Chain A
Amino acid sequence: MIGEPIVFWVLTVVLVGSALAVVLSKNLFHAVLWLALALTGTAGVFLLLEAEFLAAVQLLLYAGGVVTIVVFAIVVTERLVGERITQTNRRITGAALVAFTVLALIVSTVVRQPLASARPAVEGDLTRAIGEGVLTRYVLPFELLALLMVAALLGAIYFARPDE
């Protein structure tokens, strides 16, 4: 397919650009909107790799859910407290150092593995395969994650309950 590299590069520009904008924009609300774009771009990458299920979940949970909650948190803290929160970071050199170290680690690991030149074909219904995998072979990690989430929920309720 000829269109694939073009779409990939467009997505790359959007993704990297919006990710940079998240970090660099001073207005916290704009940063969240850029984050929404970055997460949608990630869904686009998943879609390009024919992982439609992942793409939809990415949109549903991250671009729809997480962004909504972050926005909500900003509004509650900023407008109701009455103080404008700007997003600035003076330790930008340290952050850049850490970021580049992580990048170097990832790149060095990826380079060591020979990358397949073609995508392996996915057989059958991918959604079905994911469902079966999660409920048979990976059932223990899946249940542990569920337990973790219940614990987090209980913790949230504990902190949010009114003082007696």
Chain B
Amino acid sequence: MPEWLIPFVASFIVLNVVIGIVTYVTLLERKFAARMQSRVGPYRVGPHGLLQPIADAVKLMMKEDVVPTAADRPVYNLAPVVFLLPCMLIFATIPFAPGLGVADLNIGVLFFLAVSSMEIVGLFMAGWGSNNKYALLSAMRAVNQVISYDLPFIFSALVPVLLAGSLRLSEIAGAQQGLWFVFYPVIGQLAFVAFIVSTVAAENRAPFDILEAESELVAGFRVEYSGMKFALIQLGEYAHILGASFLGALLFLGAWAGPGPDWMGPIWFLVKAMLVFLLVTWVRWSFVRIRVDQILALSWKALLPATLLLLVLTSIVVVWRTNGGA
């Protein structure tokens, strides 16, 4: 295989694997939610409902594509793609095993955070382009929330960066082969909790799902979308959650570290990412939605100062340790 072809093949494989996992993550979530509520969940399509995601995908592809008359057509049509693009790009820097990834940038964490913050542009295009007041209100709430929770998300993700002394994702994972950062005394646990809270908020899931609050806004910014465009938005949203789960597993749970031979690494990584995903889902199905002002107050008055203090504390510990401390 010629060398210039390798990046293309690698991205092709990662893209397809991600879409495959995302499809089945929806089934995992539905089953998990069903168990929490003493239900069975999808059961009819295939054994234990295993073919349900495929049936859903086929159904969505065959649905009629409705465009509202008053919609801002180019913006409305482009929005799902613009939304999906950053959600898929975040997987580019994640190393799934030592040396196994599309691009191991030396600013991996920063790239991840930067690209994942671009998601809001597509979201807002969808909200505005639909020309629907519920969609627009939802998009405005989303902007509010994203501005508020981007900083705690970044600060909590920077704690492992400080501990590892590198922005390169593979080096952060490598630094945890002895001790996972989630077990780092005090700092690790606090940062992990902050990371989970801001992930739940950044992914707009309950209790922070004010932008799709069914009882007030119907379905939020995607209310006017149908068929394949709706599918693209759903795909992007779950891909984003999956990406954040992988990032959480990489930053705090030691990525591919685990017992067994080397080829088990990616499997361990996937298992840990799924654990983070289930943690987020668990939070989602356990708490009720909180009000807009409470969400903003939680971010600006509690989470932001707390993560900032944590970051300072981490820097002190790191400097103390490198200067001949314990």
On A, residues with C-beta under 8 Å from B are 3, 29-30, 33, 36, 40, 52-53, 56-57, 59-60, 63-65, 67-69, 71-72, 75, 79, 125-127
Q: Which residue of B lies closest to A79 (CB)?
A: B136
Contacts of A60 in B (CB 8 A): 110, 113-114, 117
**What is the size, in residues, of chain B's interface with A at 8 Å between Cβ atoms?**
27
Q: Is the CB of A56 within 8 A of B111?
A: yes
- In Å, the complex CA distance between A59 and B136 comes to 24
What sequence of 0s and 1s flags, for each residue 101-123 of chain B, a beta carbon within 8 Å of any chain A beta carbon? 00001110011011101101100
Q: Is the CB of B147 within 8 A of A127?
A: no
Q: Is the CB of A30 within 8 A of B110?
A: no
Partner of B107, one of A3, A29, A56, A63: A56
Q: Is the CB of A72 within 8 A of B143?
A: yes
- In Å, the complex CA distance between A69 and B107 comes to 25
Give the Cβ gap from A36 to chain B, nearest Cβ, in Å. Answer: 5
Q: Within 8 Å of chain A (Cβ to Cβ): is B317? A: no
Give the Cβ gap from B316 to chain A, nearest Cβ, in Å. Answer: 16
Q: Is the CB of A125 within 8 A of B113?
A: no
Contacts of A52 in B (CB 8 A): 105-107, 111
Q: Is the CB of B140 within 8 A of A68?
A: no
Q: Within 8 Å of chain A (Cβ to Cβ): is B167? A: yes
**What are the 8 tightest A-B residue pairs by CB atom distance, in nearest-first order?**
A64-B117, A59-B114, A60-B114, A56-B110, A56-B114, A52-B107, A72-B143, A56-B111
- In Å, the complex CA distance between A63 and B89 comes to 15
- In Å, the complex CA distance between A57 and B115 comes to 10
Partner of B124, one of A63, A71, A127: A71
Q: Within 8 Å of chain A (Cβ to Cβ): is B268? A: no
Partner of A72, one of B106, B115, B140, B150: B140
Q: Is the CB of A64 within 8 A of B128?
A: no
- 9 additional A-B pairs beyond A60-B110, A68-B120, beta carbons within 8 Å, are A33-B75, A52-B105, A53-B110, A56-B111, A57-B114, A65-B150, A72-B144, A75-B136, A79-B136
Give the Cβ gap from A40 to chain B, nearest Cβ, in Å. Answer: 8
Q: Within 8 Å of chain A (Cβ to Cβ): is B25? A: no
Q: Which residue of B lies closest to A71 (CB)?
A: B124
- In Å, the complex CA distance between A75 and B143 comes to 11
Contacts of A36 in B (CB 8 A): 121
Give the Cβ gap from B274 to chain A, nearest Cβ, in Å. Answer: 28
Which of A36, A40, A68, A127 has its CB near the most chain B CB atoms (within 10 A)?
Answer: A68
